[in-house]
A and B are shown apart, each in its own frame.
Chain A
Amino acid sequence: MTGAAGEVEQRSVGSTDGRQIALVDLLDRLLGTGVVLAGDVVISLAGVDLVQVKLHALITSIREDMVQPR
């Protein structure tokens, strides 16, 4: 490993072995890909809708965090 400044990136959030997936990457995958089952499944979140719900949730929350004190 060379000491490039960006090298620390994925290891920030309490990672135990360097393999912890950043939340945004995990949600990309858990909401956007993966096996989708349908049928008598009670809830199979329809991909597109859920991603939108989810992005909405994330963006809302991030915006709340970013409320600047004036």
Chain B
Amino acid sequence: MTETGRYLYAIARGLDPQAMTGVPALGGGHLDVVEHLGLAAVVSSVDLDEYGEEGLRRNLENLSWLEEVARGHDTVVQAVAEQSPTAPLRLATICHDDDGVRARLEEWHDALEEVLDRIEGRREWSVKVFARPRPAPAAAESTAGGASAGGAAYLQRKKAESQAREADESSAAAIADEVHHSLAGRSVAGRRLPPQDPRLTGRTDRMLHNGAYLVPAEEGDAFAAVVEELRAAHPDVTIESAGPWPPYSFATLEQS
């Protein structure tokens, strides 16, 4: 006998359940809306062989499974966020049944209301700052093998190079701070997420800043213009932005 659980995608306020018709659920099922105390949880049934603790342990190591689920989750969250203030849930949050979903809505009611107040009418933008790769000093190459240049000179040059690198890094870090503070000042809230590993981004330039900003929906263009100004003001770094997205980074419940 196959057991199922209820997968939670997002919790919204004032959501018309009809609006979810036709939005695909994970695994090809259909979405349901569980309403309780003025909140609406968007859920669907999933097979616990696949989404149970054991199944997840196995599947999370499978990148194509993970991507499919992350994309499917995001598709639903985006559709809900189009309609209503929406707090997205983490990947693979699963309750036994709808009673379990309602119990969560009750237990977390006030915190969820606060989250929804915070993000209502607002969208998330991502802004990242990358260091420009430092050109290798040409002089260093030509004398690298020349022991005759003298050990002292060699050490001195190494020291100078290392100091230059440190100066570059500290100025890059200062630019990243400045970009973050400028953007945080032009948005409702800003967060610094951990910089992404180059092995994941597939880039050779180092990520100095991985920022998320909560911006009123109608101010998206103005925010993009600020990013453009920062780009012009800081030609020594690469600044990339993307959005608007659902407010993923700003839906965290305060944990007590």
Contact status of A53 and B60, CB under 8 A, knowing A27-B70, A30-B74, A32-B193: yes
Provide the bound-state CA to CA distance between A23 and B229, in Å.
27
Lowest 4 CB-CB distances: which A-B pairs, in order? A29-B248, A30-B91, A61-B63, A10-B242
| A24 part of interface (Cβ distance < 8 Å) | yes
Contact-residue bracket for chain B: 35 or more
Residue-wise interface mask of A (2-39) relative to B, using a CB-CB cutoff of 8 A (1 in contact, 0 not): 00001001100000000101111111111111111101
Are B199 and A43 in touch, CB under 8 angstroms? no
Could you say which of B5, B62, B104, B197 contacts A37, with CB atoms under 8 Å apart? B104
| B244 part of interface (Cβ distance < 8 Å) | yes
Most interface-central of B63, B245, B249 (chain A CB within 10 A)? B63
Are B240 and A36 in touch, CB under 8 angstroms? no
Provide the bound-state CA to CA distance between A36 and B94, in Å.
11
| B226 part of interface (Cβ distance < 8 Å) | no
Residue-wise interface mask of A (33-63) relative to B, using a CB-CB cutoff of 8 A (1 in contact, 0 not): 1111101111111010010011111111111
Contact-residue bracket for chain A: 35 or more
Are A26 and B94 in touch, CB under 8 angstroms? no
Number of A-B contacts (CB under 8 A): 150
The 12 sampled A-B contact pairs (Cβ below 8 Å) are A10-B240, A10-B242, A23-B71, A24-B201, A30-B73, A31-B90, A33-B193, A37-B8, A39-B107, A57-B61, A57-B63, A60-B61
Are B90 and A62 in touch, CB under 8 angstroms? no
Contact status of A57 and B60, CB under 8 A, knowing A27-B70, A33-B251, A41-B100: yes
Contact status of A36 and B253, CB under 8 A, knowing A28-B196, A28-B210: yes
Provide the bound-state CA to CA distance between A6 and B63, in Å.
27
Could you say which of A25, A27, A33 contacts B126, with CB atoms under 8 Å apart? A25
